[in-house]
Structure formats: C-alpha cells, structure tokens
Homo-oligomer: A and B are copies of this chain.
Amino acid sequence: MKRATLKTLSSHLELSVSTVSRALKDGPEVKPETIARVKRAAAELGYVPDLRGVKLRTGQTFTIHAFLAAPKADEVGDAGSVALTQGMHRSLADTSYSLIQVPLSPGSDALAAVQRIDEAQLTDGMIMDLTRPQDPRARYLLERDVPFVSFGRTELYTPHAYFDIDNEDAAYQATALLIRRGHRRIALIDGELEYLFCRQRLAGYRRALAEAGLPFDEGLTSHADRDADRSAQTVQHMLAFDRPPTGYVCVNEVVTLGILHGLSTAGFQAGDGVDVVSREGTRLSSYLPWRVSTCYYPLSLAGERLASFLLRLLAGEDPAALQEVVKVEVIER
C-alpha cells in the first residue's frame, strides 16, 4: 500500500494536481467549497506531504542544527544536555522541522562545523552555545544571512536572536549568599574568559565582593577548563594557600562535582564549614551527598525557548525582538 500523494488525491477528486496543492494551502483562488472537499479527501486518504518533494522544490531543508558543547571523550557530561534536547524537541514537536545535534568536544573547530553545514545547504537555521564576545560563528552567520539563535549574548552591534541566563546576577547571588553565611575567602571556579558568560560571572562575583567591602584576590579565581578533573586539581591547589577559601562559586554541575571530589580527597566532609554554590540546569545537586546551594534554571526551558525563537525567526520575525535574558532561581541549602 503506497502512501497518498497529490497525484493520488487529484485523480481521486478529478481535480488537477495544482488545484489540490493550492487548496491544501488555502489558496485564495480556490473555491471554498473545493477547499473543503479536498481537505476532507486528504484526511480520509491519510495524505501527508512528502517533505522530499517540498524540500527539492522550495529549497528549504526543514532541518535545524544545534551545535552544543560536549565534554572530552568519556568525561562526565553536562547532566543537563539531555534536558536541553528535550526542551528543543518540545518546541519542534508539532512542526515539520527535524533537529540535528552536533556535539562539539573541546578543541574541535566550531566555525568549521558551522561552515560545513551551511555550505552544503543542509540547514534552515542554527542554535549554538558557548558564545564569545566577538563570536566568529555569529559573525559568519550574520554575514551569510543564516538564521540562528545563540545560547548566550555576544558584544556584536548587529542585533541577533539570543536566549541567555543572567550570569552576572547568578554569580552575584551565589557570592552574596556565601558572604551572608560569613565566608570571607570565596573562590570562583569558572570557565575561560574568552567566553562572555564567564566574564559576566566574574563581574557579578566582583560586584558582590565590593559591596561587602571584601578585597578581590585573583588567586581565588580560576578560569580553566570547565571539567571535573581540572576543578579537583584547582581545589587541591587552593587548599594549600595560607588562607584557603571556605566558599566556592561553581560555574556548572560538572565543576561542582570536581570541587566536591577535590575537597573530599583533601579530607573534608559535608558540614566541615565549607560551602559550595553550584549553577545548574537539572536537580543534580539535590542528590549530592553534601549540602550544595545552587543557582537553578531548568535547561529544558532554555531549550524550549531557543527552538521557539528560531522558529519565529524562520517565520520572519525581527531578530532584535527575539532576545531574552532570564534570572536564575537561588536554591539555598
């Protein structure tokens, strides 16, 4: 049993293929009565347009590519990346769009990946994370006029669609929380400063310190890889200081894991006067055998927003209108 096509419908209804096609898109030149008749038959015969034909004819691909940071091979991944995927799928569920995720492990050439997909004309639009102030991918896509939404802002003057978390505020809140709890030596364990969100976090951290009259000590900040291994090493290193930190502000859940690991191998146990504040897209920290406060924003929601922004962009909306920054929820433990 072959599937129904426009031709099937047209011979069945004794109409031309083109009329059937127009009727299905509510073309104004088609008699309302005919439209109804065609739609009824389409429903009966279970007609579903063959995307292959549409794609060839229109040049559209009905494909969206999401370039997402992935951990080094077999390292612990961001527990939230599944949630992000789920969110994006939620937005795309009732559309004809497919989502292709391209995992980018550290060190891989992100721009090249974007160019490859664009040049082969494989995509209608892109989503990407880990943006830099002068993000080369964003500049490339702006120039080529490819619709995209970034998870994170840039410092480019040309407006583009983005969804972001208020990182400055998140780091500020985390630091302020630790200060409120009496900590005076607070470490910031963060990612490389080439990423804008890390700069924003650094700014929030410094603002909280300044407001409390605490000095900024560069030795208490780390801007290395955002993985568990490095973070554990960093803790070990900081614990050897004259006055080691007693509070840790972490950039994500994987770093939090590394910090806890570093602390526990150094002999610390939960409740030993050391506080850790995480930054999460899932409920991971609530299950850690250690009381960890956290700045929480559900990544599934982020994914949903990102994808829906892209859909609206594809529908012709102005990129400048598709910009959103949300605040994290601080969960104190």
- Structural contact, A287 and B258, CB atoms closer than 8 A: yes
Residues in B neighbouring A269, C-beta threshold 8 A: 269-270
Smallest CB separation, A8 vs chain B (Å): 15
**In chain B, what residue has the closest Cβ to A58?**
B52
Cβ of A56 within 8 Å of any chain B Cβ, yes or no, is: yes
- Structural contact, B85 and A101, CB atoms closer than 8 A: yes
Q: Could you tell me the distance between the alpha carbons of A290 and B270 in the complex, rounded to whole angstroms?
A: 11
- Structural contact, A82 and B103, CB atoms closer than 8 A: yes
By size class, the interface of chain A is 35 or more
- Structural contact, B264 and A74, CB atoms closer than 8 A: no
Taking a contact as CB atoms closer than 8 A, the residue among B63, B120, B281, B290 that contacts A48 in the complex is: B120
Interface SS of chain A: mixed
Within 8 A of B (CB), among A244-285: 257-258, 260-261, 263-264, 269-270, 281-284
* Copies of the chain in the assembly: 2
Q: Could you tell me the distance between the alpha carbons of A299 and B260 in the complex, rounded to whole angstroms?
A: 24
| 16 chain-A/chain-B pairs, Cβ below 8 angstroms | A55-B56, A63-B98, A73-B300, A74-B281, A74-B298, A77-B81, A78-B82, A86-B103, A98-B122, A99-B100, A258-B287, A260-B287, A261-B287, A261-B289, A263-B289, A269-B270
Q: A3-B119, A74-B83, A261-B289 are in contact. List 12 more A-B contacts (CB 8 A).
A: A3-B121, A48-B120, A70-B86, A74-B281, A76-B79, A98-B122, A99-B100, A101-B101, A228-B287, A260-B287, A264-B290, A289-B290
Kindly list the 4 A-B residue pairs having the minimum CB-CB distance in the complex, ordered from nearest: A77-B82, A264-B289, A261-B287, A257-B287
